[in-house]
Structure 1
Amino acid sequence: MKTFFLKTNFFSKFLPFLANLSFLLPFSYFWRWPITNLGSINALDLFLLIFILLSLFLIFQKPFFPIFQTFCQKNFWAMFFSGLFVFFSFFSALSNPALWDGLGLWKSLFCLPIIFTWLVIFWIKNGFIKSFNLLMSFWFSALGLTFLTIIFWQKEIWTYDQRLRLFFSSPNQLALNLSLAIFIGINYFIFFQKKKKKKFSFLFLLGTGMLIWTLYQTHSLGAELFIPLTFLFWFLFYRFQSFLFFFLVFFNLFLLLNWNFLLNKLSYQPNIPPNSTDSRIVIWQVTRKIISEKGFWGIGLGNFQKTYLAYQPLFPPYPQWAVPHAHNLIFQLWSEVGFLPLLFFFFLLYFAFTPQKTTTTLEKFLLVYFLLYGLVETPLWKNDTALLFWLILFLILSQNNFKQTARKPI
């Protein structure tokens, strides 16, 4: 028994450290180590895997197992639909001709983050981990990107169109991290201002101002547009949150089903040379065709680029050839993983937008921004922001389902 409590005491300190580290270094997925000829594992996946294994070892000990059973019962439907999402998306990964690429995406975007975040929430509910610390870790990681951006800016290290992207594959990916951190910073600036803790409120005001400046250097139209739109949508639909879910879903479906009609009505003509809007329009037209033919089972995780190139000749002109994503979250999910995982994803979102008295405004703000930004990008197809998305979604889903248990001294 003494040995067990010593181990428990160690894990109770190490698990929060590992969880915070995963959000403090979310871009650690760029650090990879090869695994024979089967592929590689990145540092972020390794953090998540170690956390999962240690958590399960601790949970299946006698003092914690009954508490975990109660947690699963209270969150049964949310865990059930997220489990179905992981299960059926696995078959989508198997349908990718490049099998290990598909399984790698499934592991990093769905399987490990979803299991990890449910376990994190279990420890949050039992007082071992604080959600505030996780969000602060993500905020400070974005602030670190800001300091790195200053160096790139001074040395004039830009993309060909004078935008900053750091080590991310595009400026829009950097902008997504920054914009999410801006919401966190604004929230805690207001929080500490109300608490009259001027030093903390000044820290968040200064840090968020730096994040906004850095975001401007990315020239990401999507982020600059959807940040104010998130505030607008929130205040318009605050009392009708379920309606907001239906609006976002049906807006995407309306675009999918009536795309050609809308383009004709708007008398759309491609620009010469084509711009990013022209590229997205062609991408969405191609995706619509893919979904109409292969939408039920999907084309396979990670198989969008190859399938896109096969369909693109049907939609001239050809403004862009390198297209790994559909530039729309729902289109991407539907085309790659198929209809069933998309349906389970919708169930999770619907439950999240069901009014809940204990849900904080920040969590809903972040979720609304994820979905609005998902109209033009695919925030789930990025390891670090996928991790934050699942955490925010499951935090909302678990708010009214499990009363926080006081942590007992060990």
Structure 2
Amino acid sequence: MSQEFSEKPFFLQAFRGLTLTIALCEESDLTLHTQRALADVIRDLVIHQAKVLIVAQDETVVRAFLSGLESELSDLLPVLTSHGGEIPAALWNRVTPVHVVYLGGETAIEIFWERLARFGALLRLPRLLLIHRDGGEGWLDGEGESLNFVNPARLKRLLSDSDAGTSGRAVLRRTILELLTGGVGAVSLCRLSDLERELFSYEGRGLFFSRRHYCQVRRLTLDDFSAAAAMIRRGESEGFLLPRSDESVTALLTQGYGAFISEHHLSGVCGLVTGPYRSRNAGEITALYALTRFQGEGIGGRLLARMIQEARRMRLDLLFACVGDPRAMEFFGHHGFERVDSDRLPEEKWRHYDPARKARVVSLARRMGGGHDGDGATRG
């Protein structure tokens, strides 16, 4: 397991056999540079047996961009089709992995959004990447915080804000909501120049909208291990998690849990270790980390709530964690954990533990009372 674990191969494997739809219009960042970047992304996807559908506004600038793209992808022989109310048969008879569909005529951008919403709902597209030059920047929640992940309920609240009239952003928000309610699985709003990071990295590079906005916490499976390992390494690089050896990460994965948005999008990880602490009837929460773009959904709190639930199910007396980041200390404190002296934790925790590392961490514990703790798990 490499310390510099790459996230890209995981996503390319996950996209195998799926159709990714990319929407281009006059408000996309269409340049020679982004044309080449899009060609590189499409090649990566096709090599890994994904399919690409480009839905474009029928404007001269878009046609010129796609003409250049066709030259870049001449080895893939993309088929240019059109959509005039009927779905082109070529979309079902996928003789090539790349198709371009024009939504017809020299149209205003508002009409393109309307047609895109109908088209996406008609095909129930699994994933739509809506390319826009603002890349989702400046989208704020009610507290003025930048948004990274938006579910339909939050999107409806945004539409009720003061700018929800006829502004370009309000029209775009309504289009995305129509796409989600019409059956599109997920929408990403991003710049074309950021498309690779949006598709192939965990933190993304834009706004992610999901129709199924619930979060499921479950045990990690073999197919989740590579994604979870990369996420742990990301948490270490950000200073939120303490560094671990490859062997420690491997052991953690077999005892790990993941938080999944829309069933398959891993948004957070953690482990619950009990084996070494059986004599004390204790459990340790390790490597609890949630992606920044999903923090507004309380992913960390949901993971910790599940760990408390599991501790109660196993009738543990003590649940503890050792952290080195002030943000982690505050987070655990909000969920009923108190700072304790290190000698109050099971002595097995410190056996063969690096003394210098021990001096840097803070011990936090929550008394469970053999599974009869009456606090109830706090959900973030």
TM-score (norm 1): 0.22
Bigger Cα Rg: 2
TM-score by length of 2: 0.24
Choose between structure 1 and 2 for higher RCO, CA contacts under 8 A separated by at least 6 residues: 1
Higher strand share: 2
